[in-house]
Structure 1
Amino acid sequence: MSKLKLHLDADTSIKALQNALINKGYDVTRTPTDWMALDASDDVQLLGATAQERCIFTFNIRDFLILGERYKNHYGIILAAQSSWNLSSLIAALSKMLSETEAEELQGQIRWLNQWKC
């Protein structure tokens, strides 16, 4: 089993969120990065995260539900309704997910962050 790596897509790309998770010891990237342009399409973000063997976290529910069906070999898609979360609750839930979940468990899966809500 391997550690879960996370990518924050353009919708969830909050520097404070990334920094908080990195400070807790998790491997987290965000758009933009050296392998992902700020204006990358949703398809490119999912495929880029997949190429990096990263699960992707997004608030863009409608588009990523479709993409998850189109590209079934992804490393996991985590969805959340933006209006239901503040920064501290995102940090807590994503920390719980990253500490409790192995990378293999999310391959090809689409899950709701609420599953790890504290």
Structure 2
Amino acid sequence: MSKILLHLDTDTSIKALQTALVNRGHDVTRTPNDWMALDASNETQLLESTNQQRCIFTFNIRDFLVLAQRYPNHYGVVLASQNSWSLSDLIAALDCMLTETQAVDLIGQVRWLNQWKR
């Protein structure tokens, strides 16, 4: 079983979020980086995350629900409503997801981060 590799899309690309998760031992990237331009489209972000075998986390619910159906071979799309989360709650829920869930469990899946909210 392998651990989830996570990518924070443009909407969730909070440096403090990435740093907190990396400091907890998780493999987390964010837009921008060496394989993802800052101005990458949502479609590009999903496809490049998939190429990197990474689950993507986003607040962009509407677009990513459509993209996840269009490209069903992704490594997971995790959605959250931006106004419902503080930074500390995001860190806790994502840490829980990354600790308790195997990568294989998210392949082709769309999940709500609320599932891991404590």
Q: TM-score scaled to structure 1, two decimals? A: 1.00
Question: Separation in 2 of the partners of 1:36 and 1:69?
Answer: 22
Compute the displacement of 1:21 (Å): 0.2
Question: Separation in 2 of the partners of 1:4 and 1:81?
Answer: 21
Identity between Structure 1 and Structure 2 (%): 71
Partner of 1:11, secondary structure, is helix
Question: Separation in 1 of the partners of 2:3 and 2:114?
Answer: 20
Compute the displacement of 1:54 (Å): 0.3
Q: TM-score scaled to structure 2, two decimals? A: 1.00
Compute the displacement of 1:77 (Å): 0.1
| Cα displacement string for residues 50-107 of structure 1 (whole angstroms, at most 9, x for unaligned residues) | 0000000000000000000000000000000000001000000000000000000000
Partner of 2:10, secondary structure, is coil
Question: Separation in 2 of the partners of 1:85 and 1:77?
Answer: 17
Which structure 2 residues correspond to residues 1-118 of structure 1 after superposition, within 5 A?
1-118=1-118
Could you tell me which runs of 5 or more consecutive residues in structure 1 were left unpaired when the two chains were aligned. Answer: none
Runs of 4+ in 1 over 6 A off after TM superposition: none
Compute the displacement of 1:115 (Å): 0.1
Compute the displacement of 1:47 (Å): 0.3
Question: Separation in 2 of the partners of 1:18 and 1:3?
Answer: 16
Q: CA RMSD in A?
A: 0.3
